[in-house]
Amino acid sequence: MSLPSGKDFRPSWPLTSGHIQTMLSSSGVRRMLLPKAAREVLEGAEIVVVDAGDGVRLSGAFTAQKVHAQPRGLAVLFHGWEGSVDSTYVLQTGSRLLREGWDIFRLNFRDHGDSHSMNEALFHSCRIDEVVHALGDIAQRWPARPMALAGFSLGGNFALRAAMHTSRAGIPLSYVLAVCPIIDPAEGLFSLEKAAPWFYQAYFMHKWRQSLRAKQAAFPQHVYFEMSELKQNLRGLTEALVLRHTDFGSLQSYLDGYSVAGDIMQAMQIPATILTARDDPVIPVAAFEKLQLPPNVELDIAEHGGHCGFIRGRNMTSFTDDYIAARFNAVADGG
């Protein structure tokens, strides 16, 4: 049986608009309209803390499947920037995979969800070592095989980078799939500033400032930022926090630190798929078209879908559910 591809996603108007797809993808309206089945992964979920190395702890949620006598495998899901294990797209994908017989682990990155009080140091996007260490702990504690990983947006970027580390770390990851991942962070930042409509940056900045305030409230003895820094734009606040809280000497060095652009993914040793949309207003498609990929990495560019949208119609379900489930199942079935 052939696997679904990006060309199979053909939404009708007005869902042919990348902006509408993007705005609906994480909207409260979508969350309300989703069918009950999209929340099944919440039923019986076990809230857990995983070891991320060097005293770092990350939170997550594990849900065991009840479809088969044995699970089809373990599916690990990464949310996007300022998302969480309870983001709509994570719940929807997790619920679909649960019905397919997969055990599900949803991981919160540092300072996401309600985890601000767990670690004193701030989250930043170059903290890949702790995510890889957490994957190792997850693989040991929930040993269902195969183990497959899917991530969205920044979570897709983390998923791709983690997959390039797992073989060296001895983590039995079989497959990785990234939906609209950040490829070149510097280009993405420039796009949000210059090319994307103003409300995208306003949305992300509002959520980020809320998160930073929650972090400050969790550790009042620690000064994370000055109020004048918090009032800056995306580039200014990012640079201020990079210089204050990381060892990177410049904003550009930090952005390069989590890039997967150019030929970086030549190091990928397991099968991988990247799904994006040509009309994504947040991450320019040009970054994907410049990638130099090995044969085991599939790049699939759909004409429509926006940023992590791919919404099919009024029920607000996403084409990515079928897409991810089909590829995960093929891995489990040896296809």
Is the model's pLDDT at 113 over the cut of 90?
yes
Distances (CA, A) of 70 to 66, 74, 103, 108, 129: 9, 11, 9, 26, 31
Within-domain flag for 293: yes
The CATH number of residue 73's host domain is 3.40.50.1820
Q: According to the model, what pLDDT value does residue 172 have? A: 96
253 counts as catalytic: no
Q: According to the model, what pLDDT value does residue 202 have? A: 85
Cα radius of gyration (the chain)? 19
Assign 252 to helix, strand or coil.
helix
Task: Look at residues 324, 333, 330, 335 and name the one whose alpha carbon lies nearest to residue 104.
Answer: 324
112 counts as catalytic: no
Within-domain flag for 56: yes
Within-domain flag for 214: no
**CA atoms of 60 and 263, how far apart (whole Å):** 32
**50-109 per-position pLDDT tens digit:** 999 999 999 999 999 999 999 999 999 999 999 999 999 999 999 999 999 999 999 999
Within-domain flag for 134: yes
- Contact (CB, 8 A) for 54 and 41: no
Is the model's pLDDT at 198 over the cut of 80?
no
User: 334 Cβ partners below 8 Å, 6+ apart?
Assistant: none
Q: According to the model, what pLDDT value does residue 189 have? A: 74
**CA atoms of 72 and 247, how far apart (whole Å):** 42
Q: Which of 153, 191, 211, 318 is catalytic?
A: 153
Instruction: State the chain's mean pLDDT as an integer.
Output: 94
Q: According to the model, what pLDDT value does residue 224 have? A: 92
Distances (CA, A) of 118 to 10, 154, 167, 214: 43, 21, 28, 12
Is the model's pLDDT at 142 over the cut of 80?
yes
Helices assigned H by DSSP within 146-197: 154-169, 185-190
How confident is the model over 110-127, as a mean pLDDT?
97
For residue 93, the enclosing domain spans 6-185+259-334
**CA atoms of 130 and 118, how far apart (whole Å):** 13
Assign 214 to helix, strand or coil.
helix
Within-domain flag for 199: no
- Contact (CB, 8 A) for 175 and 328: yes
- Contact (CB, 8 A) for 109 and 159: no
Q: According to the model, what pLDDT value does residue 1 have? A: 61
**CA atoms of 260 and 187, how far apart (whole Å):** 12
Within-domain flag for 211: no
Confidence of residue 37 (pLDDT cuts 50, 70, 90): confident
Confidence of residue 197 (pLDDT cuts 50, 70, 90): confident
68 counts as catalytic: no
Distances (CA, A) of 311 to 126, 298, 315: 30, 22, 9
Distances (CA, A) of 65 to 31, 78, 239, 285: 23, 19, 43, 36
Within-domain flag for 284: yes
**215-274 per-position pLDDT tens digit:** 999 999 999 988 888 899 889 999 999 999 999 999 999 999 999 999 999 999 999 999
Within-domain flag for 231: no
**CA atoms of 11 and 245, how far apart (whole Å):** 43
DSSP H or E run through 240: helix 234-245
Q: According to the model, what pLDDT value does residue 265 have? A: 97
Q: Which of 112, 133, 304, 307 is catalytic?
A: 307
**164-193 per-position pLDDT tens digit:** 998 888 899 999 999 999 999 988 776 777
- Contact (CB, 8 A) for 319 and 62: no
**306-317 per-position pLDDT tens digit:** 999 999 998 899
Q: According to the model, what pLDDT value does residue 243 have? A: 95
- Contact (CB, 8 A) for 9 and 304: yes
**CA atoms of 311 and 111, how far apart (whole Å):** 28
Q: According to the model, what pLDDT value does residue 151 have? A: 98
Tokens of 206: 């509002």
Q: According to the model, what pLDDT value does residue 335 have? A: 60
User: 55 Cβ partners below 8 Å, 6+ apart?
Assistant: none
Q: According to the model, what pLDDT value does residue 296 have? A: 97
The pTM for the full model equals 0.96
Q: Please give the tally of structural domains in the chain.
A: 1
Q: Which of 137, 280, 300, 321 is catalytic?
A: 280
Give the max Cα distance, the chain.
58
